[in-house]
């Protein structure tokens, strides 16, 4: 079981500059609201910025889950993949929308997975 943070704060500021989402690695544009999670864990400070699209997907994936089964920081892609084709497609679409790199291997894997479902 994961130890809780000593301090944990979530706020939803409006971006004054372009940021990177720590989940999809895409861009959070100026003027856009995002989730800013920050605090102290194991004596070390941290900040985790998440775009509104990834936040929405995290909320869907965490729905009805026990605390030790929810998406961990930086694990949205893996969690979406393990959750099924529609969730993974949504994650890849977010990456593409936000200008993050999506490898040819990932696109090929997604296409093969879609072909299997037909």
Q: Could you give the CA distance from residue 71 to residue 94 in angstroms, rounded to a whole number?
A: 17
* Closest listed residue to residue 42, CA positions, set 18, 73, 72, 6: 6
- Burial class from Cβ neighbours inside 10 Å (0-12, 13-18, 19+) for residue 28 reads buried
The string of pLDDT tens digits covering residues 50-67 is 999 999 999 999 988 877
Question: Taking the model in full, what pTM does it have?
Answer: 0.87
* Closest listed residue to residue 58, CA positions, set 70, 41, 66: 70
Token pair for residue 19? 């940021």
- Domains, the chain, in order of start with CATH, read 7-117 (3.30.1740)
Bridge partners of 45, per DSSP, are: 40
Residue whose token pair is 């994961």 = 2
The string of pLDDT tens digits covering residues 72-107 is 888 999 999 999 999 999 999 999 999 999 999 999
Count Cα neighbours of 62 within 13 Å in the Cβ-side half-sphere. 14
pLDDT value of residue 2: 58
Bridge partners of 46, per DSSP, are: 39
The string of pLDDT tens digits covering residues 10-43 is 999 999 999 999 999 999 999 999 999 988 988 8
């Amino acid at each position: 079981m994961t130890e809780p943070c000593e301090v944990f704060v979530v706020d939803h500021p409006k971006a004054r500059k372009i940021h990177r989402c720590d989940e999809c690695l895409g861009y959070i544009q100026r003027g856009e609201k995002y989730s800013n999670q920050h605090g102290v864990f194991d004596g070390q400070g941290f900040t985790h910025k998440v775009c509104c699209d990834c936040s929405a997907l995290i909320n869907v994936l965490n729905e009805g889950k026990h605390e030790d089964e929810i998406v961990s920081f930086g694990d949205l892609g893996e969690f979406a993949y393990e959750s099924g084709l529609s969730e993974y497609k949504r994650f890849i679409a977010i990456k593409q929308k936000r200008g993050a790199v999506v490898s040819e291997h990932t696109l090929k894997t997604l296409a093969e997975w879609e072909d299997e479902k037909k």
